Structure 1
Amino acid sequence: MTILGDFHMHSQFCPHGSDDTMEQYVQKAIEQGLQAVSFTEHAPLPLEFTDPAPTNDSVMNWHDVDVYLKEGNRLKQKYKQNIVVHIGFEVDYLLGFEKETEKVLNQLGSNIDDAILSVHMLKAPNDTYVCLDYSANEFGRIVDLFGSIDRVYDAYFNTLKAAIASDLGAYKPKRIGHISLIDKFHKQFHPVRHIEPVLEEILDLMKQKHYSLDVNTAGFYKEWCGVSYPAPEVITLAAEKGIPLVPGSDSHLAEHVGRGFDRLPSDLLFSLPTRS
């Protein structure tokens, strides 16, 4: 197994992250012998959408975007002899806000090298929105709101399917983030139905669209999860289907760059991110 880089990293511009600087992330990646990294900060939400997280800290602020891009470009030049630095965003798919999200992508897309499309927020039965990965307590509230654990899982996977099928314009990301993020609290909130069949359906949809898979190791280290997003057997299935695998630590601390890569199946072949 050869992993050339870490292509899912957050920075000091993430309100729920740390104060570690982008430069510290780059230096840590160089120490580990990585050849490339992608900063994929949580893109600002459309102005028409209100962050549903209890502390309203899901994404970076619009006023930080220019500073973030400028710092990324500075690091590209400073470390170009040592490592390739990509600057980009992790974009939230928001059911019902596709046109507004397309506007965000049109504002940001021409200035970045890499991007991930992820589902963190679900539309609830009462037409409010919820942040599914905020905390175990909040997830419990979401389960009550939906009526059962399985209904929350159904909503997540249906939203993920909609994200894959959606038209978000020319700058829609071509990599789908942590497709089993819904499992973050599965040891406490375990669905009745097995999720493997729907995950294979998700992979088939990604294959049809020529999308790549975020192989996300953060789940290994979550208290109520303990497994990557998605699980190693699903990653292997994706590889068998010919879906490009792009590794990412989803780090919010510099010391977590590359964390968990050694726990992935050793026979996998990984790809570099692409914007095409």
Structure 2
Amino acid sequence: MSPTLNHSESPLINIHEDGHVHTRLCNHATGEMEEYVEQAVQKGLARIVFLEHLETGIDYYPPSWLGDEEFTYYFQEGARLQERFAGLIEIQLGVELGFNPEATAVILEKLTQYPFARVGISCHFYRYKNIHLNLLSRRRQSLDQLAAIGTDKVISTYLHTLIEAVCSVPCNVLCHLDAVLRHLPGVRFTDEHVELIYQLLDAMHEHAVALEINTSGFDYRGKAFPVPWIIAAALQRGISLRAGSDAHRPSEVGRHFDRLPDLLNTAQHSQS
């Protein structure tokens, strides 16, 4: 077992499962599926969940998600790897579904076309006139346009979209809840945003949707997505937690999972 995972366990989360991994198939990550599995085995993980991107009705270039051809390969290669690594690690093939409220019917149809073992919900794009702006991009042009629209408005729309997604799409986990505008300095949640987050968590509890603790946040901002007070509010509602590295390179599989027990201990104590 890798030393990075040889730490005290937390009863709140399984740090031997990486539930959020991407590959070169999504057009903005690197590495083959097999390389990610090999890294997971080296780090002592018991399960790895590929959560490749699916977007519908999004006008954005270059595309940062898989098309039908890529998904066909995804499942073929995934089946080969499941056979090759049988007995060493469990491999699941899931999807990170970027919710577009204008394409709900198409989304539901897409979900019936593939045997996804896990469906993660996220929202990556904000509709502006006839185009879509990437809410998680570091592109200066996108950040400037989103700032000009108004960060409070953008964040409110983002949270309303996630609430609608959880209530209208069969899903298992909500990804990187507070990663919106992660590359825009000085972003803060207003009282309205906090209330929307509570509504989102209530909807997650009602629909049995888990909350992802996304450890990529340690690299982006020095703390995981979401922040401890959101984790504490989720725990108060009995929402399950899932660990995800959001790896976009093989070396990032299981990154910072050793920090999760302390993080959750802090969040748990902040409930009182």
Q: State the 1:218 CA deviation.
A: 1.1
TM norm structure 2: 0.85
The percent of aligned pairs where both chains have the same amino acid is: 27
User: How does the TM-score come out when normalised to structure 1?
Assistant: 0.84
Match of 2:137 in 1: 134
Partners of 2:263 and 2:227 lie apart in 1 by: 15
The answer for unaligned runs of 5 or more in structure 2 is: 1-9, 266-272
Name the residue aligned to 1:66.
72
Alignment correspondent of 2:123: 119
Contact (CA 8 Å) 1:239, 1:268: kept in 2 or not? Answer: no
Alpha-carbon distance in 2 for matches of 1:38, 1:67 = 16
Task: Give the structure 1 partner of residue 39 of structure 2.
Answer: 28
> Deviation at 1:201?
2.5
Q: How does 1:106-185 map to 2 (within 5 A)?
A: 106-108=112-114, 111-124=115-128, 126=129, 128-137=131-140, 138-144=142-148, 146=149, 148-166=150-168, 168=169, 172-185=170-183
2:242 corresponds to 1:246: yes
Deviation at 1:127, TM superposition (A): 5.5
- Aligned twin of 1:205: 203
SS at match of 2:212: strand
Counterparts of 2:98 and 2:188, CA distance in 1: 24
- More helix as a share of residues: 2
Partner of 2:102: 96
Q: What is aligned with 1:230? A: 226
Distance 2:75 2:190 in 1: 43
Which residue among 17, 20, 28 is the counterpart of 1:8? 20
Alignment length (residue pairs): 251
Alpha-carbon distance in structure 2 between the residues aligned to 1:11 and 1:154: 30
Amino acid at match of 2:122: S
8 Å CA contact retained: 2:121, 2:171 = yes
Partner Cα distance (2:263, 2:32) in 1 = 33
User: Equivalent residue of 1:74, what SS?
Assistant: helix
Report the secondary structure of 1:180's partner residue.
Answer: coil
RMSD (Å) for aligned C-alpha atoms? 2.0
Tell me what 2:190 maps to: 193
